[in-house]
Amino acid sequence: MSHIHVFKRRPFQVLLGLLGLTVILFALLAATPFTLGVKLNQGGLDPRIQKIMNEAIYQYGEWGLLETDPATGHIVQSLAPAQRLFVQGSTTKIFSVSAALNDLGFNHHFTTPIYALGQTSSSSLKGNLVLVAQGDLTMGGRTKPDGTVDFTDVDHGDASNFVPGVTLTPENPLAGINQLAQQIRKSGITHVNGDVVIDDRLFQPDPNLDPRTNPMIINDNLFDVVVTPGHIGAGPGSVNWRPQVAPFHLDVQVKTVAAGQTTALSVQPFPDGRLLVSGTIAADAGQQVRIADIPDPAAFARTALIEALGRVGVHQADFQN
C-alpha cells in the first residue's frame, strides 16, 4: 500500500518585536567629537541611546539618525543634515526583518517537513525520504532549552583576521537534522530502499548576493573552525571544527609564531572535501574562530541527514551516493 508519512520540525518561535516606529541609526567616522547638533522632538533621545553615542570609542564619530512614524510619515527625530549621505550597511536589514515580522506575525514557527514517499511494509520504506527546505534560519542549531534562539555578541558570521572576540554558541548545529532522524526512527522505519532528497526549490538563490541566500540552511551554511596556539615554531595547540559531515575533513597547515606577531588564518574548502586551514597564529592570540562557506547546502544537508539516520539505526545500505 502506498503511504506518505510527514515528519516535521518546529525549531523556534520568532521572538523579535516589530517596533511601532522605524528608527535608522548610522555611524560615520569624522574628525570631531560627536555633539547633538539638531534639536530633537518629543523629549529627545532615550538617555540610554545618548549614553552609547557619547562613549569614548565614538568620540571622533558622527551620527545620523532618522525616526519616522510609519502610519503618518511624520519625522519624529532627526540627526545630521538632510543632505548628508551615509552608507547604510547592515541597518538595511531593519526593513526586511520588519516586513517579515509584519507578514508572518510574532508567533510564527518555521516547520521543515520530511515526506516518506513510497510503500511501507513492516519497518521498511520502499521509496524516498524528501526534506522540503522552508528557509528555517537556524534549523534548531541555536535553540536553547527554553525555546529561544541563542547568539553571541560577536557572532561567527563576523569571523575574520580583523574582528577580535568572535565566539560560538554552544548548541549543536546539526540538532534539527538529528531531531528529524529521530522522528523517522520512532515512526518504525529502520530500512529505506530508496534515496534521501533535499527539495530546495522554495526560492531561487540570487547570484548577485554574497553570501547567497538559500532555503536550506545549517549553521548559516558556514563551517566553523576554532584554532588555539601551540608551541612557538610548531603547529597549533588544537583545531576543532563544525558541523562535521562527510566528506569534509581538515588539512591543517598552521604555524604558531611569537607573541605579538601577526595572526593571519584562513579556511578554504576544496571539491574533494578538504578544508585547508592555513596561516599563522600568535602564541598570545588565544582562541581564534574562522569560517568558510558550505559549498552546496542541499548536498551537505542530504549527507548530514543520511548520517543522522545511521546514528539512530535507520539502515543506510540502500541510500544512493
Indicate whether 50 pLDDT > 60: yes
Poorest-confidence range of 39-43, 138-142, 276-280, 310-314? 39-43
Q: Are strands 124-132 and 112-121 parallel, antiparallel or unpaired?
A: antiparallel
- Please report the DSSP string for 56-77 in residue order: GGGTTEEEEEEEE-TTT--EEE
Q: Which three cell numbers stand for residue 223?
A: 563551517
- pLDDT above 70 covers what percent of the chain? 84
User: Residue 218 is placed in which grid cell?
Assistant: 545549517
Query: CA–CA separation, 213 vs 204, rounded Å?
Result: 9
Q: Is the peptide bond before 229 cis (omega within 30 degrees of 0)?
A: no
Give the tens place of pLDDT for each residue, 130-144. 999 999 999 999 999
Nearby residues of 180 by Cβ (< 8 Å), 6 or more positions away: 7, 9, 112, 114, 131, 305, 308
Q: Comparing 105 with 290, which gets the higher pLDDT?
A: 290
| Per-residue pLDDT, 78 | 83
pLDDT for 8:
59
For residue 243, say if its preceding peptide bond is cis, omega within 30 degrees of 0.
yes
Angle, CA of 235, 239 and 244, to the nearest 5°: 145
CA–CA distance, 314 with 242 (Å, rounded to integer): 23
**Average pLDDT value for residue range 199-225:** 89
Q: For the chain, how far is it from start to end, CA to CA, in angstroms?
A: 27
Sequence ranges of the domains in the chain? 1-14+106-218+295-321, 22-104, 222-293
Q: What is the average pLDDT across 294-315? A: 95
List pLDDT tens digits, range 180-191: 999 999 999 999
Tell me the C-alpha distance between 248 and 306, whole Å: 15
* Residue type at 109 in one-letter notation: H
CB neighbourhood size of 245 (10 A): 23
Contact indicator for 171, 142 with CB cutoff of 8 Å: yes
**Where does the pLDDT of residue 44 fall: very low under 50, low under 70, confident under 90, or very high at 90 and above?**
confident
Q: What is the pTM of this model?
A: 0.77
| 1-14+106-218+295-321, CATH topology level | D-tyrosyl-trna(Tyr) Deacylase; Chain: A; (3.50.80)
Grid cell at residue 312: 539512530
Angle between helices 297-311 and 175-186 (to 10 degrees): 50
